[in-house]
Structures are given as structure tokens and as C-alpha cells.
Amino acid sequence: MLQPKRTKFRREQKNRMKGMAQRGNQLAFGSFGIKTLENCWLTAQQIEAARQAMSRYMNREGQVWIRVFPVKPVTKKPLDTRMGKGKGDPYGFVAPITPGRILFEAEGVSLAVAKEAMRLAANKLPVATKFVVRRDYVEQ
């Protein structure tokens, strides 16, 4: 599972996600990618599930880049616990995502294979996505 080796603080505030992605919003490594259209918190498990679905469909050919990393700790209080008594314990990490962010990139496979692999990966994610292709891409 993806998670930071260490964090400065165990707990973090929620913060607000507003506006479009200011960085990570263009293809940088591969010719194909999926771009988000909504705000969300992607958990480490969701990112891993999408990666597995994509690489399995591509038969481990080509190359896949994960462009997001879960760095934000999320806390949860135990069930049947009354309000108060402090913040809950950390139970996982999430990646805050804003619209326009590229989540995954792929290279080394045909357009049809990449499109289907990205569709399978997008089905594992809790956010609406869009398939994008590099501007200067030409089919071999």
C-alpha cells in the first residue's frame, strides 16, 4: 500500500479543496492518461486497485506511471464512541484530488489497449474521469 515513510505530524486538518489543479494537470511521461473532473480524496487502496486493473489488462506490457501519492493522514474514531475526547486515531492515507489532475499515465501499448485499461482503472475510482491522449501522438 502507498503511504509516506514518515510524517511530521500524526494527524492533519481536513482543509478545503477548491479550484482546478494548478500542477500535475498535463501529461508528463506517457502518451495516454486519465484526468479527474471532480474533487475527491483518493485512498491508497483505490489507487492500488486502479493500478492493478490497468496493468493486468495491459498484460504487464508498456509502462504505467502513478501521478498521485497519498500523503494526507485521515483519522477515524471508534464505533459507539461519544463526541469529544479528542481527535481519532489515524487509519489510512489519502491523496486530495482537484479537477484537472492527471492520475495515471501509460506508454508502450496501442491506443485501443490503453483506452480500455484506463476505463477499467477509472471504474475502480470514486471520481468522474476523462481519457486524454498526448497532442503529438501518432499511431504506429
39-80 pLDDT per residue, tens: 999 999 999 999 999 999 999 899 999 999 999 999 999 999
Model pLDDT, residue 126: 96
Model pLDDT, residue 124: 96
Q: Is the pLDDT of residue 140 over 80?
A: no
Model pLDDT, residue 1: 80
- Residue bearing the bigger pLDDT, 124 or 1: 124
Radius of gyration of the chain, Cα coordinates, nearest whole angstrom: 17
- In whole angstroms, what is the distance from residue 49 CA to residue 63 CA? 17
Please give the domain boundaries of the chain with CATH numbers for all domains. 32-77+88-133 (3.90.1170.10)
What is the length of the chain?
140
1-41 pLDDT per residue, tens: 899 999 899 999 999 989 999 999 999 999 999 999 999 99
Model pLDDT, residue 99: 97
Q: Is the pLDDT of residue 138 over 90?
A: no
79-122 pLDDT per residue, tens: 999 999 999 999 999 999 999 999 999 999 999 999 999 999 99
Model pLDDT, residue 60: 86
Take residue 128 and report the three cell numbers written for it: 468522474
- In whole angstroms, what is the distance from residue 40 CA to residue 48 CA? 16
- In whole angstroms, what is the distance from residue 117 CA to residue 99 CA? 21
Cross-strand pairs, 68:
none
